[in-house]
Structure 1
Amino acid sequence: MPEWPTADEPRVVIIGAGLAGCLLATLLGRRGMQVNVYERREDPRAAPPERGRSINLAISARGLAALDHVGLREQALSRALPMHGRMVHDPAGGRSFRPYSADGRRAINSISRSELNLALLDVAVKTPGVNVAFGCRLTHLDLDTGELRFATDEGPRLAQADLVLACDGAFSAARRTVTFRTGFTFGQDYLDHRYKELTIPARDGEFALDPDALHIWPRGESMMIALPNLDRSFTCTLFWTSEQFAALRSPAQIAEHFQAHYPDVAELAPDLVEDYLHNPLGSLATIRAWPWVHGGAAATLALVGDAAHAIVPFFGQGANCAFEDCVEIDRCLAESGNGWPGALAAYERRRKANCDAIAEMALDNFVEMRDRVSSKAFQAKAAAGHWLERRLPGRFVSRYELVSFTTMPYAEIPPRMRRQARLTALAAAGIAGLGAATVVGASRGGRR
Structure 2
Amino acid sequence: MGAGLSDRDVVVVGAGLSGCLMAVLLAQRGCRVRVFERRPDPRVNLADHGRSINLGLSQRGITALRHAGLLDHVLAHAAPMRGRVVHLPDGDLGYHLYGTSDDQILRSVLRHDLNVVLLDAAEALPSVTFEFDTKLTALTKGDDHAPVDLRFHGADGEQRVLTQTVIGADGAFSTVRAQMQRGEPADYHQEFLPWGYKELSIKAGGAGDQRTDPEALHVWPADSGLIVAHPNADRSLTGTIFLPLAGPDSFATLRTRESVDELLTRRFPDLLDLVPDVVDQFLSQPVGHLVTVRTAPWHFGDRVALLGDACHAVYPFYGQGMNSAFEDCVTLDQCLDRHPADWGAAFAEYQQIRKANTDVLADLSAENFIELRDRLASPLFLARKKADLALNKVLGDRWVPLYTMISHTTTPYADALRRSRRQNTTLAWVACAVATGTAAAGTALVRHLARRVKGK
Equivalent of residue 390 in structure 1, options 376, 389, 393:
393
Q: Deviations over 1:90-132 (max 9, x none)?
A: 1122111011113465211111111111111111011131111
SS of match in other structure, 2:328? helix
Deviation at 1:260, TM superposition (A): 1.8
The corresponding residue for 1:443 is none
Give the structure 1 partner of residue 48 of structure 2.
50
Q: Which runs of 5+ in 1 are unaligned?
A: 1-7, 439-448
Map of 1:294 onto structure 2: 300
Q: Secondary structure, in 3 states, of the residue corresponding to 1:247? A: coil
Q: What SS does the corresponding residue of 2:252 show, helix, strand or coil?
A: helix
| TM-aligned CA deviation for residue 437 of structure 1 | 10
Which of 424, 443, 446 is the matching residue for 1:421? 424
Please list the CA deviations of residues 57-106 of structure 1 after superposition, one character each: whole Å capped at 9, or x if unmatched: 00010000000122221222232111111111111221110111134652
2:17 paired with 1:19: yes
Distance 1:437 1:291 in 2: 52
Moved more, 315-324 or 338-347: 338-347
Q: Distance in 2 between matches of 1:40 and 1:317?
A: 25
Provide Cα deviations, 1:116-161, integer angstroms capped at 9, x if missing partner. 1111111101113111111111111111362211111221122112
In structure 1, what is the equivalent of residue 381 of structure 2?
378
Kindly tell me: are residues 211 and 382 of structure 1, through their superposed partners in 2, closer, same or farther at Cα, counting changes over 3 Å? Answer: same
State the one-letter code of the partner of 1:378: F
CA distance in 2, matches of 1:251, 1:69: 49
2:87 and 2:298 map into 1 onto residues whose CA distance is 41
Q: RMSD of aligned C-alpha atoms?
A: 2.0
Residues 246 and 126 (structure 1), Cα distance of their counterparts in 2 relative to 1, 3 Å cut = same
State which of 12, 34, 37 in structure 1 corresponds to 2:35: 37
- Counterpart secondary structure, 2:51: coil
Aligned residue identity for 2:426: L
Equivalent position amino acid for 1:358 in 2: L
Q: Name the SS for the 2:198 alignment partner.
A: strand
Give the stretch that moved more between structures: 199-208 or 363-372. Answer: 199-208
What displacement does 1:166 show? Answer: 0.2
Deviates more, 1:412-421 or 1:252-261: 252-261
3-state SS of paired residue (1:393)? helix
Unmatched 5+ residue regions in structure 2? 1-5, 442-456
Q: How many residues align?
A: 428
Give the SS at the match of 2:199: strand
Among residues 210, 216, 219, which one is paired with 1:216 in the alignment? Answer: 219
Conserved 8 A contact 1:110-1:228: yes
The TM-score with structure 2 as length reference comes to 0.90
Q: Which amino acid aligns with 2:372?
A: M
Whether 1:156 and 2:158 are equivalent positions in the alignment is yes
Deviates further, 17-26 or 333-342: 333-342
Per the alignment, residue 173 of structure 2 pairs with 171
The TM-score, its normalising length taken from structure 1, stands at 0.91
2:199 is matched with which residue? 197
Closer, same or farther: CA 377–203 of 1 in aligned 2, 3 Å: closer
Contact 2:139–2:180 under 8 Å retained in 1: no
- Matched with 2:185 is 183
| One-letter amino acid of the counterpart of residue 88, structure 2 | D
Closer, same or farther: CA 424–206 of 1 in aligned 2, 3 Å: closer
Q: Residue 266 of structure 1 corresponds to which residue in structure 2?
A: 272
Deviation of 1:180 after TM superposition, in Å, equals: 4.2
- Residue by residue over 1:257-300, the C-alpha shift from the partner in whole angstroms, topping out at 9 and shown as x without a partner, is 212211211122132122211211111111000011124xxx82
Are the counterparts in 2 of residues 11 and 160 from structure 1 also a CA contact under 8 Å?
no
Q: Give the Cα–Cα distance (whole angstroms) in 2 for the partners of residues 178 and 267 of structure 1.
A: 51
Q: Which residue matches 1:79?
A: 77
Q: Distance in 1 between matches of 2:205 and 2:435?
A: 50
Pick which of 264-273 and 413-422 moved more.
Answer: 264-273
Counting only pairs closer than 5 Å after superposition, residues 290-439 of structure 1 correspond to structure 2 as: 290-295=296-301, 300-336=303-339, 338-435=341-438
Structure 1 residue 424, shift from structure 2 partner: 1.4
SS of the residue aligned with 2:397?
A: coil
- Asked if the contact 1:217–1:262 (Cα under 8 Å) also holds between the matched residues in 2, the reply is yes
SS of the equivalent of 2:398 reads: coil
Distance, in Å, in 2 between the alignment partners of 1:56 and 1:392 is 34
Taking the aligned partners of 2:346 and 2:187, their CA distance within structure 1 comes to 22
1:381 and 1:57 mapped to 2: Cα distance?
Answer: 27
